[in-house]
Amino acid sequence: MYTLDVNVARTESHSPLWVDRGLIEKLPELISPSKYSSFVVVADAGASKAKDRVCAALSVPPTRVLSLTGGESQKNVNELIHLWEFFAEQKLDRKSLVITVGGGATSDLVGFAAGTYMRGVAFLHVPSTLLAQVDASIGGKAGINFHGIKNLIGSIAQPVGVVIDIDALETLPEREIRSGFAEVVKHGLISDRAYFDKVTARDCMRWTPDEMVEIVHRSCEIKKAIVECDETEQGPRKALNFGHSIGHAIESFALAHGPALTHGEAISIGMYGEAYISYRVGKLSLADLTTIDTGLTAAGLPTRLLKSIPAGELRALISKDKKNVGGQVKWTLLERIGSAVFDVVISEDVIGESLAAIQPGATHPC
């Protein structure tokens, strides 16, 4: 079992994070249940097997369990009210613990609801998607979508712990595993060349659960280090946005017009587009850009759109990105595989070229 402590100076919080297989059954040893006056479990319908394991391990009766549909559409104000009502009915007090079981859409929504109820009730994440295990459950960011903008309303509050049980991924569909794996590859790209080489050496579906323990642990180490030095994203945490300016634009377009894309598919194409920008502005070598193209492909992730999206539409969406400041897009780019730079402003011409480079069948520069 790996244990990491996520130490955040601003709130002097120390959140343990555990990674292994079969961890849910060890919950009673990990979280000292006697510290809490009561538990409630809020679980994503997709994670019902993991939820049953959590309830069995902590003897949580069905009356103290709330099931959510799971997925992005639940990150709204009505669901937030529904959760606060559930907490009130369950008479949560300042010593209660809310346990979330599910993907990132569940940890974001429920983490925000718990973090704001009574000015903050303790919450513990048991992430059940790869994306939530390596990304969404770590770092305390939580929130909901509002007025069509992702994560517009939210907070930063650290969980009391994150229990990452690789066996919870057993029921996760292949497409969701691939989606989470895009963030794994991103961790290599922004901070660890050897890790990038390792995780792109084969198709991501071929890693065994024991090998996935090692991979998820390394990704958690990378995210922990970034969160600890910049919890509120004033600087270095922006490295995690690599691939996400173009990626979010692709994701928003696909959401509105189809065909459906997962977050990871959009981010994988976004990473190639933003690596292309890094190359075009002279920060990244052509050799590294080529390695990124072949590496993402070898891991079983896309680097070009399947169906063309007009560049004008993508530009409009990029210009609405929440990360922009004073109307300017601030890009996170790579200076080499394993090292990111942030807050880079680039010309419209280069953006146009990168959007052409991700269109279906676009050839790699040589």
Q: Is 332 in the site for ligand NAD (CB under 6 A)?
A: no
Query: Is 150 annotated in the active site?
Result: no
50 binds ligand NAD (CB under 6 A): yes
Catalytic (active site) residue 82:
no
Nearer to ligand NAD, 265 or 288 (CB): 265
Q: Is 119 a catalytic residue?
A: yes
Residue 155 or 308 having the CB closest to ligand NAD: 155
Q: Are 321 and 245 in contact (CB under 8 A)?
A: yes
Q: How far is the CB of 260 from ligand NAD (least distance, A)?
A: 12
Answer for which of 7, 155, 171, 328 binds ligand NAD (CB under 6 A) is: 171
87-126 footprint of ligand NAD as x/- string (CB under 6 A): ---------------xxxxx-x------------------
Q: Which of 224, 237, 280, 283 is catalytic?
A: 237
Annotated catalytic residue, options 176, 231, 233, 274: 233
- Catalytic residue chosen out of the listed positions 218, 244, 283, 304: 244
For residue 49, with 0-12 CB atoms within 10 Å meaning exposed, 13-18 middle and 19 or more buried, which class applies? Answer: middle
Written as one letter, the residue type at 304 is: R
Cβ partners under 8 Å of residue 213, min gap 6: 2, 19, 20, 21, 166
Judged by CB under 6 A, how many residues of this single chain contact ligand NAD?
A: 32
Helix (H) or strand (E) holding 335: strand 331-336
The Cα 58–Cα 61 span in angstroms is 9
> Is 224 an active-site residue?
no
Question: CA 333, CA 281: separation in Å to the nearest integer?
Answer: 10
Among 100, 129, 268, 278, binds ligand NAD (CB under 6 A): 129
By the rule CB under 6 A, 71 interacts with ligand NAD: yes
Could you say whether residue 42 binds ligand NAD (CB under 6 A)? no
Say which of 141, 186, 218, 238 is annotated catalytic: 141
Say whether residue 241 binds ligand NAD (CB under 6 A): no
Q: What CA–CA distance (Å, rounded) separates 14 from 8?
A: 6
Under rule CB under 6 A, which residues in 130-169 are in contact with ligand NAD?
131-132, 135-136, 139, 141-142, 150-151, 168
Annotation marks residue 364 as catalytic: no
Query: Which residues touch 150 (CB under 8 Å, ≥6 apart)?
Result: 248, 252, 322
Cis geometry, peptide bond prior to residue 236 (ω within 30 degrees of 0): no
Q: What are phi and psi of 249, to 5 degrees?
A: -65, -45
d(CA 80, CA 110): 8
Please tell me whether residue 73 binds ligand NAD under the rule CB under 6 A: no
Q: Which stretch binds ligand NAD (CB under 6 A): 67-75, 92-100, 280-288, 337-345?
A: 67-75
Q: How far apart are CA 109 and CA 98, in angstroms?
A: 12
Residue partners of 64: CB distance under 8 A and separation at least 6: 38, 39, 40, 41, 90
Tell me the β-bridge partners of 285: none
Work out whether 184 is an interface residue with ligand NAD (CB under 6 A).
no
Is 241 annotated in the active site?
yes
The yes-or-no answer on residue 183 being catalytic is: yes
Catalytic residue among 176, 183, 231, 274: 183
**By the rule CB under 6 A, 263 interacts with ligand NAD:** yes
State the Cα–Cα distance between residues 225 and 229, nearest whole angstrom: 6
With CB under 6 A as the contact rule, the residue among 47, 55, 184, 204 that binds ligand NAD is 47
Closest by CA position to 305, among listed 349, 239, 249, 366: 249
User: Judging by DSSP bridges, how do beta strands 141-146 and 149-156 pair with one another?
Assistant: antiparallel
Give catalytic residue positions: 119, 141, 183, 223, 233, 237, 241, 244, 248, 263
Positions that interact with ligand NAD (CB under 6 A):
44-47, 50, 70-72, 75, 102-106, 108, 128-129, 131-132, 135-136, 139, 141-142, 150-151, 168, 171-172, 176, 179, 263
